[in-house]
């Protein structure tokens, strides 16, 4: 019995030495037209959700991650006596965890308080003297509709020289959602163009209901959608260069957002060569 106790203690001490826990501070900041909910690697959730809330601006609080804090903040100059205050409001999430124990996949769900464009910032900063990695990610000018949700993944690993990834999770519904948001925010016009692009997405989504055997066809329909927006952006650019404004247009920002969605979706549907 005595030997067993000594062996158990020795193993425990070895594990602690091999994996020292170092403090890491994670900060997430968004503009005030979205709320967001963070899910940590253990499946615990924290943040605010505007859907169904008595006050959309305040949202419904979700507090399932210990030591995580979600706050409403504002910044701005102190106005003179004859000036009207014009503060900038934002939402901030702060969380301190131990690395490597808290390393892993963090899911971030952005939820629109209103149909708008939003900015989002992520920073991970080790405590002073820590050997953990730090990272910064910035997302500017994304589009979202009221009550709709965009999902992002942050894969954090504190070990030095280990890749840290932040990416948008694109589903077929994400592409349609971004198209609709672009139209509502006047980044795409006119209604006829919006309907044409939606019809092409209908063709793409119909192939998905037929099973994996139609993945090649799904990719083909997705590429047809891409050709359409490439053509529309080319025509819009010509009008812009001439100083003309046409009611049928595709703004550069909307084009880049849709192209990103297509790029992410294309990887899910191999071509005939399985690529």
What's the rounded Cα separation, in Å, for the pair 84 and 77? Answer: 11
pLDDT at 85 over 80: no
The reply to whether omega before 105 is within 30° of 0 (cis) is no
State the pLDDT at residue 168: 97
Note whether residue 272 is domain-resident: no
45 within 8 A of 62, measured Cβ to Cβ: yes
228 and 123 in a common domain: no
218 and 151 in a common domain: no
Average pLDDT over residues 145-159: 96
Last residue of one domain, picked from the residues 115, 135, 169: 169
Domain of residue 93, residue span? 2-77+89-169
pLDDT at 47 over 80: yes
194 and 133 in a common domain: no
Q: Name the domain count of the chain.
A: 2
State the pLDDT at residue 244: 87
86 within 8 A of 76, measured Cβ to Cβ: yes
56 and 159 in a common domain: yes
Please tell me whether residue 110 adopts helix, strand or coil conformation.
strand
177 and 163 in a common domain: no
188 and 118 in a common domain: no
Average pLDDT over residues 188-216: 87
Lowest mean pLDDT among 18-22, 105-109, 226-230: 18-22
Average pLDDT over residues 210-227: 83
State the pLDDT at residue 138: 95
129 and 68 in a common domain: yes
Note whether residue 57 is domain-resident: yes
Average pLDDT over residues 179-200: 96
Note whether residue 274 is domain-resident: no
235 and 220 in a common domain: yes
66 and 25 in a common domain: yes
State the pLDDT at residue 215: 81
pTM score of the predicted model: 0.85
Element (H, E) at 167: strand 165-169
């Amino acid at each position: 019995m005595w030997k067993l106790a000594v062996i158990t203690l020795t193993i425990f001490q070895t594990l602690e030495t091999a994996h020292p826990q170092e403090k890491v501070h994670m900060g997430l900041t968004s503009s005030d037209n979205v709320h967001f909910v963070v899910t940590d690697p253990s499946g615990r959730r924290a943040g605010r959700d505007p859907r169904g809330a008595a006050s959309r601006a305040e949202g419904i609080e979700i507090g399932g991650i210990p030591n995580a804090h979600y706050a409403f903040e504002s910044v701005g100059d102190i106005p003179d006596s004859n000036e009207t205050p014009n503060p900038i409001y934002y939402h901030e999430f702060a969380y301190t965890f131990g690395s490597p124990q808290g390393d892993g996949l963090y899911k971030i769900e952005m939820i629109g308080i209103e149909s708008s464009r939003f900015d989002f910032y992520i920073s991970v900063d080790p405590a002073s003297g820590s050997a953990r990695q730090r990272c910064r990610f910035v997302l500017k000018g994304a589009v979202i509709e009221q009550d709709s949700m965009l999902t992002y993944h942050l894969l954090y690993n504190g070990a030095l020289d280990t890749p840290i990834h932040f990416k948008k999770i694109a589903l077929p519904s994400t592409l349609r959602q971004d198209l609709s948001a672009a139209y509502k925010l006047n980044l795409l016009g006119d209604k006829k163009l919006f309907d044409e692009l939606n019809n092409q997405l209908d063709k793409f989504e119909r192939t998905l209901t037929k099973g994996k055997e139609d993945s090649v066809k799904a990719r083909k329909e997705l590429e047809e959608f891409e050709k359409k927006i490439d053509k529309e952006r080319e025509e819009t650019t010509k009008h812009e260069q001439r100083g003309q404004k046409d009611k049928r247009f595709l703004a550069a920002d909307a084009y880049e957002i849709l192209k990103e969605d297509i790029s992410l979706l294309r990887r899910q549907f191999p071509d005939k060569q399985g690529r």
